[in-house]
Amino acid sequence: MSSQLGVASRLPPLCHCQPEPAMASSAASGEEPAPLLPALLFFRLRMDDDFDAALRQRYRVLDFFVSGEPLPAFLAGAAALPDPPRAAVVMGGAAARVDAALLDAVPSLGFVFSTGAGVDHIDLAECARRGVAVANSGTVYSTDVADHAVGMIIDVLRRVSAAERFVRSGLWPAQGDYPLGTKLGGKRVGIIGLGNIGSLIAKRLEAFGCIIHYNSRRPRDSVPYKYFFNVHDLALESDVLVVACALNKDTRHIVNKDVLEALGKDGIIINIGRGANVDEAELIRALKEGRIAGAGLDVFENEPKVPAELFSMDNVVMTSHVAVFTSESRSDLWDTTIGSLEAFFSGKPLLRQVLPW
Amino acid sequence: MSSQLGVASRLPPLCHCQPEPAMASSAASGEEPAPLLPALLFFRLRMDDDFDAALRQRYRVLDFFVSGEPLPAFLAGAAALPDPPRAAVVMGGAAARVDAALLDAVPSLGFVFSTGAGVDHIDLAECARRGVAVANSGTVYSTDVADHAVGMIIDVLRRVSAAERFVRSGLWPAQGDYPLGTKLGGKRVGIIGLGNIGSLIAKRLEAFGCIIHYNSRRPRDSVPYKYFFNVHDLALESDVLVVACALNKDTRHIVNKDVLEALGKDGIIINIGRGANVDEAELIRALKEGRIAGAGLDVFENEPKVPAELFSMDNVVMTSHVAVFTSESRSDLWDTTIGSLEAFFSGKPLLRQVLPW
């Protein structure tokens, strides 16, 4: 750590950087300033010290969340620099949107890297029109998300978290046996979105004896699973419906009232995609009225807000958008982020480029 | 249901039977009593109405837990019947022990069927010496137990139940991100007991990219996993240690202080075997002192009592001995129980006979 911070401390000061406490002493010591590092627009929470240090060794990080400035002022300041930023790092979710306004404000941008698995916060068509390359974390998270999805299916069907509360409250001796769960084997699991994550979920569930169905934009020739052209028909033939698709205008509320109706009172829904893939208000109504059997939700429409009505439901398992995150995948993500930036700045091909659709 | 109850109501009354409310009216109607059904010793809680009715159609059920009698009086009463019971149904766990004393008290017994997956409550050597056949539920539960074990591994590594408490308490908006979990892929999972359940756990975990090691009485030629002659060495080479063996004198406290030490501070333990397979006091000490990373426990040494010290530990997932139970497996169990009794009473081979060891 100390050597990394030592390197970081040689970076020249920049109005939008995080404070560099060692800078004053470095300047005071009369050392030659290091060559100017490339500027990097940075829109991300959730950092760790090692990654922060590694990034600052390589770039002058213009950190929006640290700047405290309104977005237009922050972008104008960046664009007015003698060497304005050619690259941006953005996280997934609602933290920042890369849209026409942002691209207009900083026309020097040639590359956007998303540290999220999704790219619903990036206007891919606008980027393509302007020749701005977009890459993301690719499959770094995929196995973790798939594992979490399977864990949630088992949890909801077998009532693990609910039984956990029961035992932890000391109720077992007084109340006796906990109600029976439902078997995973033989269940028909309908996966919405058979991309990398969906395919990994399917592979895992095959080992449990599940029957896999799926819906996606196109049928896949390479898989033995039954394809459904629309989600309503998929839900009709599924005991468990798993949302594993990206969020875009076609998939917003892809699980709506009709789909929940088709899933039916013994069906459960798992969402490890994006909160807005599911009509949350309709989901809550269906759960309340017993029109579906349960839900496992890692994502919500207005994170971190979770509708309080869910808190008292024993047939719902909720986690705080953690399906993507393990210490191992985060470490892979940092490597991928820095590798992608280095590829862009050295003119090499971008391995995980996202194409517009 | 009504036709089944109608049949059951024609059974003659017996001192130890559950009350048969329809009996009086049946006798009053002057109908011929049905031929005497075979007597059946019954030591089991957790019944359901359908199974109860199906059993009483076929047998005069002498139900110990309903009798309210002390065990010696109950057994003496059964033995003194003109047609004493030739078969007994016992559940797993501590509800009743089939030992020399019980077999001495009811010498007419020729068959014991255990509805549990384990047979640690049956003295197999004593049964064999007297020519009493023993059968059990066989593999009815195996997939459910394996599924639950995998669910618990994901839960402990990925902190699902803990994140669930966090979200459910409404803490997400105030406290922000939940701490990172740990990846399942690539983990070395050591399975103690590679029987039917252990093998199913291994098969499932292979789909997650885990590396499987195992310990059992003998190495298995048919599996590609690495065999360890003792549990200590297995624990040394494992990130996750899964207890999936039967309970007997060799496996009591098979996970002891030394094994926990070998597993180490990043290791987790999963117990879906029997509570007494693990030295619970040592486990709690190791958890308290951070000498292991976490635990998933479906079984405990003194069920339904769970040591209160566990209740405040966020790295522990506890369920109330439910790994065996789903509505589907219970239905299979009832079929197996009745099928086994019919095989015994009609002199056919017992499909799931348990041999002494």
pLDDT for res A351: 77
Question: Catalytic: which of B252, B285, B321, B352?
Answer: B321
Active site residue B86: no
pLDDT for res B210: 98
Query: How near does any CA of chain B get to the CA of A55, in Å?
Result: 21
* Dist CA A154 CA A156 (whole Å): 6
In the CATH scheme, what architecture does the domain B142-318 have? 3-Layer(aba) Sandwich (3.40)
State whether residue A61 is helix, strand or coil: strand
pLDDT for res A64: 93
Q: List CB contacts (< 8 A) between A147 and chain B.
A: 154, 158, 183-185, 208
pLDDT higher than 60, residue A86: yes
Per DSSP, A66 falls in state H
Alpha-carbon distances, residue A76 vs A61, A82, A102, A266, B205 (angstroms): 15, 12, 10, 54, 52
pLDDT for res A8: 32
Mean pLDDT per 10-residue segment, chain B (357 residues): 32 38 44 79 82 93 93 96 96 79 97 85 93 89 96 98 96 92 97 96 98 96 96 98 95 98 98 97 98 98 96 97 91 92 93 72
* Dist CA B252 CA A27 (whole Å): 68
pLDDT for res B94: 59
* Dist CA A190 CA A229 (whole Å): 12
CATH class of A2-140+328-345: alpha beta
pLDDT for res A34: 61
* Dist CA A161 CA B314 (whole Å): 12
Closest CB from A170, A320, A325 relative to B311: A170
Pairing of strands A316-318, A294-297: parallel
Pairing of strands A268-271, A294-297: parallel
pLDDT for res B315: 97
User: Which residues does B143 contact at the CB level (< 8 Å), separation at least 6?
Assistant: A183, A184, A185, A208, A209, B200, B329
Structural tokens at position A279: 């009509």
pLDDT for res B26: 42
- Tell me the HSE value of B111 on the side-chain side, using a 13 A CA sphere: 27
Which of A65, A171, A315, A322 has the most B C-beta neighbours within 10 Å, making it the best mutation to test the interface with B? A322
**Considering only CA atoms, which of A264, A219, A224 is closest in space to residue A241?**
A264
* Dist CA B106 CA B228 (whole Å): 43
The boundaries of every CATH 3.40.50.720 domain in chain A are: 2-140+328-345, 142-318
E strands, chain B, are: 39-43, 60-63, 87-90, 111-114, 133-136, 188-192, 211-215, 226-227, 240-243, 268-271, 294-297, 316-318
Helix, strand, coil shares, percent, chain A, to 5: 40, 15, 45
pLDDT for res B32: 62
Q: Which residues pair with A18 in a beta bridge?
A: none
The boundaries of every CATH 3.40.50.720 domain in chain B are: 2-140+327-345, 142-318
* Dist CA B225 CA B199 (whole Å): 10
Q: What is the pLDDT of residues A292-324, one digit of tens each?
A: 999 999 999 999 999 999 999 999 999 999 998
Structural tokens at position B112: 């014991």
pLDDT higher than 90, residue A285: yes
Q: List CB contacts (< 8 A) between A177 and chain B.
A: 45-46, 320, 322
Q: Do A164 and B317 touch (CB under 8 A)?
A: yes
Structural tokens at position A208: 């449990």
pLDDT for res B14: 34
Residues of A known to be catalytic: 274, 303, 321
Query: How near does any CA of chain A get to the CA of B130, in Å?
Result: 35
pLDDT for res A4: 34
pLDDT for res A299: 97
* Dist CA A20 CA A3 (whole Å): 15
Q: Is B216 left (phi over 0), alpha (psi -120 to 50) or beta?
A: beta
Tell which wins on pLDDT, B31 or A12: B31
pLDDT higher than 70, residue A101: yes
pLDDT for res A30: 53
Mean pLDDT, rounded, for A153-165: 97
**Considering only CA atoms, which of A230, A147, A128, A150 is closest in space to residue B183?**
A147
| Main-chain phi, psi angles of B19, to 5 degrees | -55, 140
Closest CB from A168, A322, A329 relative to B163: A322
Alpha carbon B126 to chain centroid distance? 21
pLDDT for res A328: 93
| Beta sheet of B240-243, edge-to-edge order | B226-227, B211-215, B188-192, B240-243, B268-271, B294-297, B316-318
Give the per-residue SS3 of B293-342: CEEEECCCCECCECCHHHHHCCCEEECCCCCCCEHHHHHHHHHHHHHHHH
Query: How near does any CA of chain B get to the CA of A38, in Å?
Result: 30
Q: Find the length of chain A.
A: 357
pLDDT higher than 50, residue A1: no
Q: How many CB atoms are located within 10 Å of the residue B193 CB? A: 23
- What is the dihedral angle through the alpha carbons of A296, A301, A304, A306, rounded to the nearest 10 degrees? -60
Q: Which residues pair with B227 in a beta bridge?
A: B214
Q: List CB contacts (< 8 A) between A157 and chain B.
A: 326
Q: Domain B2-140+327-345 adopts which CATH fold?
A: Rossmann fold (3.40.50)
* Dist CA A188 CA B133 (whole Å): 39
Query: How near does any CA of chain A get to the CA of B123, in Å?
Result: 26
Q: Do A203 and B207 touch (CB under 8 A)?
A: yes
Per DSSP, B248 falls in state S
User: Which residues does A32 contact at the CB level (< 8 Å), separation at least 6?
Assistant: none
Which of A319, A328, A330, A333 has the most B C-beta neighbours within 10 Å, making it the best mutation to test the interface with B? A319
